[in-house]
Structure 1
Amino acid sequence: MAGRDNDRILYPFEWGLEWIGAPPEAGDAAPLMAEYSRKAMQSSEEFFSYRRPSDYRIENQHLTFTSPVQSPYPENNRVHADFFPCSRSNGRAVLVLPQWNADASGHVALCKLLNRFGLSALRMSMAYHDRRLPRGLRRADYHVSPNVGRTIHAGRQSVVDARACLDWLEEQGFRKFGILGTSLGSCIAYITAAHDHRIVAGAFNHVSMYFGDVVWTGLATRHVRQGLGESITQEQLRDLWRVISPATYLDRMTGREMPSLLICARYDTTFLPEYSRRFIEESRKRRHTIHEVCLPCGHYTTGQFPFNLLDAYHICRFLKRWL
């Protein structure tokens, strides 16, 4: 199914130094970007810190606020989230982050199912997605692209926006938080959980080690790989994008005793199974509290019958149990 989408645009490789605060003429881009990424990883607590928004607005269960991380695109700077309250939730809420290129209906059915399991849900649109698409774009190309700096910036923005959503939920009286992410949303959800101790349970729907390896080898991102061309190696990309990679923050989860549901797909051509297995092995090695599910399908067929029912059942049962 990853090969059916012919709406992809091939963008050229760019270092994107302006996205990390360096002028384009700053000099040799590769070492500058490497140093930026290294420092961001060393001080990730600061990198993913933010000023709490002061302009939350809820209307017809639709939440909006200004993103604490600004981009040049006004549409993207307004965070959108849909709230699905449950009267039986008893202070429990799940923050939901759908997959890359999900439209505004993505995971809405899953949020309603969480309600049936007695949990409130808040579905957030990640940076550059659906209602946050800059004018002229039809896909969330700016979240994952051959522009190295912009991709880092987008990852940081989505993590910070997710944490700001938790702030709003907290203001509404919720006290026990879970997080659910699918594919790209799983990556953002894991990094968010690693930096926010308010999250006590996480369901990570498709897992992998390094952001760069997924983009380099995945069928769904082959157009991004084409755009990267010969300008960078897989090893370089892996290193530069470590700051937005779940594997970088495995040690931050050690000692948390946060139950995590790690879901992979046996025939996944986007999050290759060897990368998923390694992530699960590294989590076990650190004695994380993990629950593993391997679905007998591919990446995109996870969202198709009957696998979508299996997937949703595992997720909802897990979150109900641990929240």
Structure 2
Amino acid sequence: MFHNWFDRWDEKRARRGEDAKKVTAVTLDAELAFPSAVNICNIDEFCKLGEQAVATPSFFRAPLSNDTEFERAGDFLKFPSDISTDVAENNVVWSKITDSGSRDKALVIFHHWNARSRNRQIANYFSKRGITVVEIAMPYHFERSRPGSDYADYMLSANLGRTIQSLRQAVWDGQKLIRWLKSEGYREISVLGMSLGSWVAGLVAAHDTNVRKASLFLTGGSLAEMVWTGRATRAIRESFESTIDLSHLRRAWAPLDLGNYVYSLARPDLDIQIVLAKRDKVILTELSFSLLESLNNAGAKLDVLQLNCGHYSLAIPPYIIFAGINLQRFLSQSGKSDLRT
């Protein structure tokens, strides 16, 4: 009875904003994902570029930047993104800083898809415990929203190229912010990603050795499979079904599959925490377990917490309390391989 109530609550929450998500035409726009691409006219050509990007370490490596690009105004920090899009608002990155008063530890938070507000309670909680929290706005969210849009449709959609561009932009923005934090004297940098934000946080951790701890809430390996099977992305799957199949989507979005970077995530100086919901209908548990198996096989240092809740009910008591306590423990000490249920 208890869990049935949470299941119904999750389904009700999943319906919120669903009417705004429409079936759209599948678009390649390969030049957005791969700037040197020209005359890419079919999905097989796009897939080859996606697979090549996985084998290209520099694809997710953000260019070096000038510290003078950063502007601090009170609790906010803004700087230009190194990837320029046709939405001017999206080209300026905004971050909310909740200062701990210490330059010892900083936690960069990557929020979930279509987040409407930043995580004030989390920021206040950890800042009082000596960890400065920086909540970065991902592409097409918060101050970076596309004018007239009802949700962040440009970040995740049936436009194959723009989706890769958006995730790559988020990863570059995160690395640029982390370099600024290091220049400000922060000793230990951690990242926390939630749902879609966990893909960004995972990609950042895989490509930026400044990251010492990565906490991934509600994550999986293959973004393509998440979109194909998940409750929140039905409209995107319907867009794809008449044009491309899952096998092509996996290849096209290969750069966005965390499973392709498990050996980078398994480096000795990186600790990883994964929090998953066993009743999740947005990111199915088999996707999370597949990533866990790959990470274990690669020798990653893992701390895993399984909670008997759904994707959205993780955000309410008692589950958010369990997750918060586990996150605090993880950030305060070196993690060892552990499995908690």
| Aligned match of 2:261 | 249
Q: Mapping of 1:144-155 within 5 angstroms?
A: 144-155=156-167
Answering whether residue 161 of structure 2 is matched by residue 140 of structure 1, we say: no
CA distance in 2 between partners of 1:63 and 1:81 (Å): 5
Q: Kindly tell me: are residues 23 and 254 of structure 1, through their superposed partners in 2, closer, same or farther at Cα, counting changes over 3 Å?
A: closer
- 2:282 aligns with 270
The answer as to whether partners of 1:117 and 1:320 remain within 8 angstroms in 2 is no
Q: Please state whether the residue corresponding to 1:39 is helix, strand or coil.
A: helix
Pair 195,279 (structure 1): closer, same or farther in 2 beyond 3 Å: same
Q: 2:219 maps to which residue? A: 207
For 1:233-248, what aligned pairs fall within 5 Å after superposition?
A: 233-248=245-260
Helix, strand or coil: the match of 2:51? helix
* TM-score when normalising by structure 2: 0.89
- Is 1:93 matched up with 2:116? no
Q: Specify the alignment match of 2:35 in structure 1.
A: 21
Q: Among residues 223, 238, 247, which one is paired with 1:226 in the alignment?
A: 238
Alignment counterpart, residue 119 of structure 1, candidates 116, 126, 131: 131
1:229 Cα offset (Å): 2.9
State yes or no: 1:9 paired with 2:45: no
The CA distance in 2 between the partners of 1:276 and 1:46, in whole Å, is: 25
Instruction: Decide which of 318, 321, 330 is 1:309's aligned counterpart.
Output: 321
Q: Secondary structure at the match of 1:51?
A: coil
Residue deviations 1:163-202 (CA, integer Å, cap 9, x gap): 0110111222112111111001111000100000011111
Match of 1:63 among 67, 77, 97: 77
In structure 2, C-alpha distance between the alignment counterparts of 1:7 and 1:314, rounded to whole Å: 35
**Distance in 1 between the 2:129 and 2:294 partners?**
31
User: 1:27, CA displacement in angstroms?
Assistant: 5.0
Are the counterparts in 2 of residues 202 and 319 from structure 1 also a CA contact under 8 Å? no
Q: 1:23 to 1:193 in 2, by over 3 A?
A: closer
C-alpha separation in 2, matches of 1:121 and 1:76: 22
**CA–CA distance in 1 between the matches of 2:86 and 2:100?**
37
Aligned to 2:93: 79
CA-based RMSD: 1.7
CA deviation string 1:223-263 (max 9, x = no partner) = 11112231110111011111012111101123334111111
Query: Structure 1 residue runs of 4+, over 6 Å off?
Result: none
Cα distance change on mapping 1:175 and 1:290 into 2, 3 Å: same
Report Cα offsets for 1:277-310 as digits up to 9, x if no partner: 1111111112211011001100111112222222
- State whether residues 209 and 275 of structure 1, in contact with CA within 8 Å, keep that contact through their aligned partners in structure 2: yes
Q: Secondary structure at the match of 1:82?
A: strand
Identity of counterpart residues, as a percentage?
25
Give 1:46 deviation, angstroms. Answer: 4.0
What amino acid is aligned across from residue 62 of structure 1 in structure 2? F
Q: Which residue of 1 aligns with 2:195?
A: 183
Q: Secondary structure at the match of 2:69?
A: coil
State the shift of 1:17 in Å. Answer: 2.6
Aligned length: 320
State the AA in 2 paired with 1:135.
P
Q: CA deviation at 1:32?
A: 2.6
Q: Deviations over 1:46-80 (max 9, x none)?
A: 44332325410010110100001111111000001
- In structure 2, what residue type is equivalent to 1:234? L
Change (3 A) 1:172 1:109: same
User: Residue 42 and residue 66 in structure 1: after superposition, are their counterparts in 2 closer, same or farther (change >3 A)?
Assistant: same
Select which of 44, 57, 62 maps to 1:31: 44
User: TM-score scaled by structure 1?
Assistant: 0.94
What secondary structure does 1:294 align onto? strand
Q: Contact 1:220–1:270 (CA<8 Å) still a contact in 2? A: yes
Moved more, 31-40 or 119-128: 31-40
Gaps of 5+ in 1: none
